[in-house]
Amino acid sequence: MQNSHERLGRFTIVLAGLLAVAIVMFGCGVAAAEQTVVASSTVESVVVPSPEPTATETPNLQRVTVKYDYTPAKSIAEMFEASSVVVFGRVTGMVDQIDMATWAGSSSGNYELGRVYEIEVVEYLRGDGPEAITFVQAEAHYRYGELTDDAIAEIRASTPDYENGVPKFDEDYVFFLRKWHVDWRHFIAARWPDRVWFQAGKGIVEGNLSDSASRFTPFDSDELWVSLRELQDRFTPEPTEPILPGSGNDGR
């Protein structure tokens, strides 16, 4: 009987100990849970802002980036062959600014700033023409809700989109051009890139789009001119003899 009481006492002690441990562990779990709740309530959610459009001063006017779908020329020969006119000369200045989107019949709500540059021609390497010609290149794009005079003024004051987009004035260039089908008074690039700038004994290929000239390394100017003369000879039509009456080649 005594042994039964002793065993019951030991069991009671053990049970009490287990109950105490359980109470302690439960208390720790509640505290941990409370800390988790507090911690989560103090963490602020991070919102990654969307890229903001290019700011403009005029309401309903937004500067946009246009990605062209094109295949850049891989060689000077490709640029030459694609051109109807290849000229050596200098850009004397900008003579006009136009909306190329409107001229090309695009839908309203888009404005493509085209700057018109004048080239003083020293020599025609392909084709022929006057001593001064004009060419147009797109240099900025906008969407607009209303094309007001203020909006047009802001567009025309904008800077070019592309690195090396603006030709340097009064510097030696060779341009690879074709007639602009929208307005035959002006030329546009036959391919991108569309010109070579001669500077410090080097021929540096440039284009309105910065990546169009990335595959070209600077040429030695003398070697480049040899290549240009060879291309000039290849693409210059053979002169035809005039047909003179009584000469035997007039069909009589």
**pTM here?**
0.73
Cβ atoms of 136 and 179 closer than 8 Å:
no
Please tell me whether residue 133 adopts helix, strand or coil conformation.
strand
CA atoms in the 13 A half-sphere facing the CB of 74: 1
Checking if the pLDDT of 202 tops 50, the result is yes
pLDDT digits (tens, 9 = 90+) for 120-144: 999 999 999 999 999 999 999 999 9
The rounded mean pLDDT for the chain is: 80
CA neighbor of 137 nearest in space, from 155, 162, 120, 154: 162
Q: Given the DSSP bridges, would you call strands 85-99 and 172-179 parallel, antiparallel or unpaired? A: antiparallel
Identify the residue with better confidence: 28 or 139: 139
Q: Choose the weakest-confidence range: 78-82, 155-159, 245-249.
A: 245-249
| pLDDT range class, residue 246, cuts 50, 70, 90 | low
Q: What is the pLDDT, as a whole number, of residue 56?
A: 87
